[in-house]
Chain A
C-alpha cells in the first residue's frame, strides 16, 4: 500500500525586543544565570504582568507578512503544568482566541510552487532553562529566559514531504529575519521547530495517528527527523501494527527518534483565560500603521530582481537570501549599471571572501560603490578582467578605491594607439623569421606576436586594440 505523509509544523520564534514580554528585565542572551530576573518573571505571589507593546507589533508584522487575518480581539490564557523551568506553574499564552489566523506562505519544492496554510499565530512567554548536573542527580534552573517573548506559528497539516517541511521552515525563517523581529539563531534556540507527523493510505481523507517530534535544531535535522519518522511509521503500518500517539525526541547522533519519557500525563493543560491580563484589542488603524512599515519581503524581492535586473532565478534566490546582501547587490548594480556583472562579483568574489574570512555582510571591507567602480573600470577597458581580480584582492585587504590601486600599481591598460603601434613595430622588427612564417600562411604565429606585445607591456595592452593593430600591420607587410 502506498502511504502519504501528513505533516504540520509548529515554529517558536524569539522576538528581538529589548525587554521581556510582561516585565522590564533584559532579554539579552548570555548574561550570568538569574541576573535578568525580577518578581514578575520569577512568578512571585501578588505580582502583575504588563504587556510589552512592541511584542504585539512584531507579532502583527509577522502575521501580515504571511497573509494572516488579525483578530480585533484576542485573549491571554494560562497553560497549566508543573516543571522546574516554569516558575508560576503556568505559562501565559494565547489559546481560544489567538492574535492571528488563516494565513499562508508560498514554497517552491523541486520546481513546484505550493501554498502552505498557516492556521494561527499567537504570542506567549518563554520558560527558563534547565542545566543537568553530570555527576549528582540535580538540575540547575536559570530564569533569564523566563518571560522572553515568543510567537508560535502553527501550519495547517498541508505539508506532504520532508523537503516541503524544510522549504516551509526556510521561508518562515527568511521572513522573520527580513522583518528584523527575530535573529533566527537555531543553535541558541531563537528559532525552534516541532513537527506533527502521521501517515495515511494514499487517497484517504481522514488522518492517521500522529506523533510529535521535538529537539531538531537545524533545517537539515528537521528534514532528517521527518524522513526517519515516516519510515518508522510506514514499517509499523505495513507490518499490521499501530502507531502510538506520543512525543518523540530526535537524537542527532543516532539519526533516530525516541519516545520522550515522563511528562505524558501532564498533557492536560486546563487552559483558562488569564484574569491578570485584559483582552487584547487591536484596532484596524494600528494594523494599517504597522502594515505600512513592512519591508519588501524576500519573495517579492526575488521576483523584482528577475524582472528589473534580468538576472537568472538562481542569482535572484542567492542575492535575496538576506536583506543586507540584497541591498549590497542593488548598490553595486546601481553604481555600474551592469546587473549580471554585479551579480557575478557579489555572488562569487564577495560571498567567497566573506565566507573565507568569516565575516558578516555588514562587515564587508569593500564598499558597494567601490565594487561598482571596479566593474565600470573593466567595462570601459581601463583594466582587464584578470587584472581586476588582482585589484579586488588589494581592495579587500586595504579598503582602497580601485582607481587609486590601479594608479599606484601602474596597472592601467594601454589604450593609446600610437603607443601600441610603437611597441608592435618594434616587435615585428625584432622577429623577422616569424613575420615570414606568418606571411607564408602560418597563422598560428599571430598568437606569438600577441604574447610578445603583452610581455613587453606587462599585460597592460588593451587586447582588442592589439589584435586590430597587429592584423592591420601584418596585412600591410
Chain B
C-alpha cells in the first residue's frame, strides 16, 4: 500500500471533507491506484528533461497597473450567507 487510511483521513481533514467509513475505504484504494501509476511513470528516464510545471512555456500575460471599477460593496456581499451590510459575517475566529 502506498497510502494508509490515516493519511487519507489527514488529507480529508485539511480539505475540510467529512468522509464516511465506506468512502474512506474507496478513496484509499483510488489514491493508492493513482500513486502506483505514478510509480510506473517514475521509471521513465527523464535525466535530460527540464521539469515542467505548466503547459504554456512562457507567455507575456501582463496587465498594466490601471485601476478598473470594482463591483461595489452591495454586489460583493449579495451572495454571502451572512453580512452586516458592509462586511461578511463569519463565526468568530481568533488567532
Q: Which of B18-26, B29-37, B39-47, B58-66 contacts A (4 or more CB under 8 A)?
A: B58-66
Q: Taking A26-B70, A38-B71, A278-B54 as contacts, is the C-beta distance between A18 and B91 under 8 angstroms? A: no
Q: A24-B66, A26-B67, A140-B84 are in contact. Are A278 and B61 (CB under 8 A)?
A: yes
Q: How far is the CA of A275 from the CA of B56 in the complex (A)?
A: 10
B76 → A minimal CB distance (Å): 5
Residue interface mask B70-92, A partner, CB < 8 A = 1: 11110011000000101111111
Tell me if B58 and A133 are in contact (CB < 8 A). no
Q: Is A25 an interface residue (CB 8 A)?
A: yes
Q: Are A266 and B14 in touch, CB under 8 angstroms?
A: yes
- How many chain B residues touch A (CB < 8 A): the figure is 35
With both beta carbons as reference points, the residue of chain A lying nearest to B11 in the complex is identified as A270
| Chain B facing A: main interface SS | loop
Asked whether, in the complex, the Cβ of B71 is within 8 Å of the Cβ of A39, the reply is: yes
A111 CB–B CB distance under 8 Å: no
**Contact between chains at A32 and B95 (CB < 8 Å):** no
Within 8 A of B (CB), among A62-106: 73, 75, 80, 82-84, 97
Contacts of B90 in A (CB 8 A): 84, 138-141
Provide the residues of chain A in CB contact with B16, threshold 8 Å: 82
Give complex CA distance A133, B89 in Å. Answer: 10
Chain B residues closer than 8 Å to A25, beta-carbon distance: 67-68, 70
- The answer to whether A460 has its CB under 8 Å from any CB of chain B is no
Contact between A139 and B61, CB atoms less than 8 A apart: no
B2, chain A: closest CB distance, angstroms: 17
Q: From residue B16, how far is it (CB to closest CB) to chain A in Å? A: 6
A142 at the interface (CB under 8 A from B): yes
Contacts of B70 in A (CB 8 A): 25-26, 35-38
Q: Which residues of B contact A437 (CB under 8 A)?
A: none
Q: Report whether B61 and A50 are in contact in the complex, using a CB–CB cutoff of 8 Å.
A: yes
A261 touches B94 (CB 8 A): yes
Complex Cα spacing A75 to B88, Å:
32
Kindly list chain B residues whose C-beta atoms are within 8 Å of the C-beta of A260. Answer: 95
> Is the CB–CB distance between B95 and A24 below 8 Å?
no
* Residues of the B chain whose Cβ atoms lie less than 8 Å from the Cβ of A275: 54
Given that A32-B73, A35-B73, A39-B71 are known contacts, is A50 also in contact with B84, CB under 8 Å in the complex? no
Task: Report A140-157 residues with CB < 8 Å from chain B CB.
Answer: 140-143
A171 to B63, CA, bound (A): 31
CB pair A19 B92 closer than 8 Å: no
Complex contacts, B1 vs chain A, CB 8 Å: none
Residues in chain A near residue B14, CB distance under 8 A: 80, 265-266, 268, 270
CB of B6 closer than 8 Å to a CB of A:
no
| B45 CB, min distance to chain A CBs, angstroms | 22
Docked-complex contact B57 and A279, CB < 8 angstroms: yes
B93 at the interface (CB under 8 A from A): yes
User: Contacts A19-B67, A24-B67, A50-B61; is A140 near B88 (CB within 8 Å)?
Assistant: yes
Whether B95 lies near A263 (C-beta < 8 A) is yes
Asked if A34 and B67 sit within 8 Å, CB to CB, the answer is: no
Chain A residues within CB distance 8 Å of chain B: 17-19, 23-26, 32-39, 42, 50-56, 73, 75, 80, 82-84, 97, 130-133, 137-143, 249, 260-263, 265-266, 268, 270, 273, 275, 277-279, 281
10 A-B residue pairings within 8 Å (CB atoms): A37-B71, A38-B70, A51-B62, A51-B63, A52-B62, A53-B62, A137-B91, A141-B88, A141-B90, A275-B54
9 new A-B pairs (CB below 8 Å) besides A132-B92, A141-B89?
A19-B63, A26-B67, A33-B73, A50-B63, A138-B91, A139-B92, A270-B14, A273-B54, A281-B59
